[in-house]
């Protein structure tokens, strides 16, 4: 069974976001060994300098890199990434699995994004949209889209 992980910066603060992710984690258990791993986010002042932002990205990036499993297909979520529709994401997951990948890791950064070091670990960068979403919502949306992709690949009726 393929492993799918969402590796993200920060914790979900509101219960309804945690419940939504828990629901998709439960649904995904039919298709994959699915998990969400959180790393601590850095605190910044309200008006941080570029140096403070850089240091934050570096520290969060080091935490992320320490959690990346060897041999995993890493897919950072970033605004400059490729846009995928749901069938394309399904095709990508199927292609990776049939190509011998046993673990796919989607990475969501903190409020300032991801360090270049994290982005450079990947051959594939993905964007949900050119719009900006709260990272908590983005996590739920990614859970749903991963579930949808596996439903499409499994011939389920969830995707219409």
Where are the chain's structural domains?
3-153
Average pLDDT score, the chain: 95
Instruction: Compare 31 and 133 and report the one with higher pLDDT.
Output: 31
pLDDT (0 to 100) of residue 66: 98
Other C-beta atoms lying within 10 Å of the C-beta of residue 29: 11
Architecture of the domain defined by 3-153: 3-Layer(aba) Sandwich (3.40)
State the average pLDDT over residues 31-35: 98
Please say whether the beta carbons of 64 and 107 come within 8 A. Answer: yes
| Residue 125 near residue 80 (C-beta atoms within 8 A) | yes
| Distance in angstroms (rounded) separating the CA atoms of residues 138 and 92 | 19
- DSSP letter at 120? T
- The total of other beta-carbon atoms located within 10 Å of residue 37's CB is 13
- Alpha carbon distance 89, 148 (integer Å): 9
How many residues would you count in the chain? 160
Average pLDDT over residues 98-104: 96
- Residue 106 belongs to what H/E stretch? strand 103-108
Instruction: State yes or no: pLDDT of 159 exceeds 80.
Output: no
Q: What is the rounded distance in angstroms from the CA atom of residue 139 to the CA atom of residue 148?
A: 14
Whole-model pTM above 0.85?
yes
- 65-80 average pLDDT score: 96
pLDDT surpasses 70 at 118: yes
- The whole-number average pLDDT for the span 98-122 is 96
Across the range 100-127, mean pLDDT stands at 96
Contact 9, 135 (CB under 8 A): yes
Binned at pLDDT 50, 70 and 90, residue 158 comes out as confident
Give dist(CA 102, CA 93) in Å, integer: 11
Local confidence band at 160 (pLDDT 50, 70, 90 cut-offs): low
């Amino acid at each position: 069974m393929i492993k799918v992980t969402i590796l993200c910066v920060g914790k979900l603060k509101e219960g309804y976001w945690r419940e939504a992710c828990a629901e998709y984690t439960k649904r995904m258990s039919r298709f994959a060994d699915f998990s969400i791993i959180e790393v601590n986010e850095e605190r910044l002042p309200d008006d941080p300098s570029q140096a403070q932002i850089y240091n934050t990205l570096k520290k969060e990036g080091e935490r992320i890199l320490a959690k990346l499993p060897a041999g995993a297909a890493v897919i950072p979520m970033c605004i400059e990434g490729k846009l995928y529709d749901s069938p394309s994401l399904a095709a990508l997951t199927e292609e990776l699995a049939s190509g011998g990948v046993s673990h796919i890791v989607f990475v969501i950064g903190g409020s300032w994004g991801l360090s270049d070091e994290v982005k450079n670990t990947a051959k594939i960068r993905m964007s949900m949209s050119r719009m900006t979403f709260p990272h908590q919502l983005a996590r739920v949306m990614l859970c749903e889209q991963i579930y949808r992709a596996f439903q499409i690949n499994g011939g389920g009726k969830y995707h219409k």
